[in-house]
Structure 1
């Protein structure tokens, strides 16, 4: 098939611009830079994110097992390992400063929004073709990169939030995201229009879940019954 014009990732991004704008306007995200985000909201987020990352790592491992080539298998296996190792290290530092203990994560239940997001990732990677699973995990990479880069010039008066911003706005994470974007653009021209549409649908839903994840933390979301 002929190469797509523009790049498929650009088409994906154009599909979620209103959602991304809503993410930047959300008081959880804007509160990171002006320092107004209550620490109990950030603590809720850190615990829920640690729970989420376990599922995210499993989803990446599934993608590695069905990847179209050895290079992609190695990439996702490496990313799955880093999702636990690198971000767990970040969380451990946050937990200590927030007065929390790792054991609290084991005893905490995923919020409704986090549970729905995790189920979406596993369903997308275990019961759908590789390209749909790829589109489902892409928002977690790309949205965090773009948010981090957007917030980095602004910084934060709160050292805890500044560390979070520097992690996702930094060059190391940027390189990881570029690998996944490159893979997406490489695969897209080999797919049919219907398959690319399904990828776009998965990507949009995943991006909505990103907004919902931060919203749940800001509202300290609990199960209603």
Structure 2
């Protein structure tokens, strides 16, 4: 069994909880509150900006040209392609994409970004990938799960979102990340593998928490301090 398959098996509980979450399942049922969708886009726009920067850190740690190429391509993919699912959500709720950009991060999204940045800054490249991988991997499986459960057709309001993440191209990205992590894991110590597993599971937990954050429109308990008052 590959290292990444071990990771997947060890985190089946969280993956299943994500599939069952009312926001995620609601995408298939066409039943997600508009305010939750808006809250999700506000946080995810900033999250993906951070994700690209962390890809950049991974690129800077890469010694092989194929790794440099891969992480460079992923930055371009997030920048140019992953706005399409956001546009689907925006069209559904009737809000312009630009209106949902530049908002402060809710607590969970803020913590998630700092968690990944921590591993990227102080950990190995393998540890960095371990922290990054749950995001695309869970989305790929969400796409598969919604396709299999609801069999949406093109008139489904969230068909563009579901089909984007269930697409073969997205699956190839996940598999390339898995292959890299499997290769690195073969040459790492048990202590290093433990760090990767911990980073991966925490990111899985935060993926689940991100959906809950969006669904409940989580915010900071106290308003931001206004300097100068």
Q: TM-score, normalised by structure 2?
A: 0.90
- C-alpha separation in 2, matches of 1:30 and 1:112: 23
Q: Tell me the equivalent position of 2:227.
A: none
Q: Tell me the equivalent position of 1:15.
A: 10
Q: Tell me the equivalent position of 1:178.
A: 175
Instruction: Please state how far the C-alpha of 1:103 moved relative to its aligned partner.
Output: 3.5
Q: CA RMSD in A?
A: 1.6
Deviations 1:17-36 (A, max 9, x none): 11111111111111111122
Deviations 1:121-166 (A, max 9, x none): 1111122111111100010111111111111122448733222111
Uncovered stretches (5+) of structure 2, i.e. residues with no partner: 223-229
Distance of aligned partners of 1:159 and 1:40 in 2 relative to their CA distance in 1, 3 Å threshold: farther
Instruction: Please state how far the C-alpha of 1:77 moved relative to its aligned partner.
Output: 1.0
Instruction: Please state how far the C-alpha of 1:101 moved relative to its aligned partner.
Output: 2.8
Instruction: Please state how far the C-alpha of 1:94 moved relative to its aligned partner.
Output: 3.3
Q: Tell me the equivalent position of 2:135.
A: 140
Q: Tell me the equivalent position of 1:166.
A: 163
Instruction: Please state how far the C-alpha of 1:90 moved relative to its aligned partner.
Output: 3.5
Count of aligned residue pairs for this structure pair: 220
Uncovered stretches (5+) of structure 1, i.e. residues with no partner: 1-5
Q: Tell me the equivalent position of 2:210.
A: 213
Q: Tell me the equivalent position of 1:65.
A: 60
1:129 aligns with 2:124: yes
Q: TM-score, normalised by structure 1?
A: 0.92
The ranges of structure 1 where at least 4 consecutive aligned residues each deviate by more than 6 angstroms after the TM superposition are: none
Among residues 23, 26, 51, which one is paired with 2:46 in the alignment?
51
